[in-house]
Amino acid sequence: MILPLVIIALLTIAVAAIAMTLRNLIHSALLLIGSWAGIAAFYFWAGAEFAAFAQVLVYVGAVSMVVLFAVLLTRRSRADLEVAPDAIGRGLGAMLAGGAVLGVLFGAVFATRLDVAPTAAPTASVRAIGQQLMGAHAASLLVVGVILTVALLGAVVIASTDREGGKEDAR
């Protein structure tokens, strides 16, 4: 019960931490995809199958593709390869800030009494989720749909070139 959780947690955190320190963008993107998969494993462990598959489908399947595309489309220049002079200071500051947040969060977790008895896992059947989505959360579902559409259009508009007469290949 606990052991799989610990393994998943340690692996995910380790993979994410390594990803954040690597200089090779592709490697860190791939490792981050691994950590997303680890999070999906956690969902699976917690009994939220649907969320786990959604996580894999969206993150490992779609977001990762967009990230890799962005990496490939943005060629790195020489300036990116050398360590910027302020990188060390910034890194130290980030570590400090991160450590502080970590301390606060850990302190809060430890200080709070959360002695919930680990009861039987709640079930979330696909049917129940579907009924919730179409019933109680129908409005939110619509809003999310609108957000996604707008985001898609916005992304296309932002990323598209605005050259004059750019219709040369549009046949």
Partner 1 sequence: MSVVVVATSASEWTALRVVDSLALVATATDRFLECAPVMLRDAVTGLLPDPWRWIANGLFAIVAIFAVFGLLFAFLTLAERKILGRVQNRPGPNRAPTPTFPFAKFLGKIRTYGLAQPFADGVKALTKEDIVPDGADKVLHFLAPVALLAFATLTLVVIPFGRNLVALQLDAAVLYFFAAGAATELAVFMAGWASRNKYSLLAAMRALAQLISYELPLLLSWVPVVMIAGSLSTVAIVEAQAGWKFGFIPHWHVLTPWGFAGFVIFMVAALAESNRSPFDLPEAESELIAGHLTEYSGFKYAFFFMAEYFGMCALSGMAVTLFLGGWRAPLPFLEFIPSYAWFGAKLLALILGFMWIRATFPRLRIDQLTRFSWKFLVPLALINLGNTVVWALMSGGSPALALARWPVCAAIIVVPFVWLGRAQSASYAPRTYRYAA
Partner 2 sequence: MSLSPLQLCLLFSSALFCVGLVGALSRSNTILVLLGVELMLNAANLNFIAFWRFSPSPSPATGVMFVIFSIAVAAAEAAVGLALVIAIYRHQKNIRLQEANRLKG
Q: Of residues 15-74, which lie at the interface with partner 1 (CB under 8 A)? A: 26-27, 30, 33, 44-45, 47-50, 53-54, 56-57, 60-62, 64-65, 68-69, 72
**Among partner 1, partner 2, none, residue 11 binds (CB under 5-8 Å by kind):** none
Q: Which of residues 74-93 bind partner 1 (CB under 8 A)?
A: none
Q: Which amino acid is at 145?
A: G
Cα–Cα distance measured from residue 131 to residue 121, given in angstroms and rounded to the nearest whole number: 20
Binding partner 1 (rule: CB under 8 A), the pick from 121, 136, 148, 155 is 121
Q: Does 132 bind partner 1 (CB under 8 A)?
A: no
Residues 64, 90: contact at Cβ < 8 Å? Answer: no
Binding partner 2 (rule: CB under 8 A), the pick from 82, 114, 164, 168 is 114
Q: Does 160 bind partner 1 (CB under 8 A)?
A: no
Cα–Cα distance measured from residue 81 to residue 25, given in angstroms and rounded to the nearest whole number: 11
Q: Does 37 bind partner 2 (CB under 8 A)?
A: no
Residue 30: both structure tokens together: 């791939």
Runs of H (alpha helix) within the chain = 2-21, 25-45, 49-55, 64-73, 78-81, 87-111, 126-134, 138-159
Q: Does 171 bind partner 1 (CB under 8 A)?
A: yes
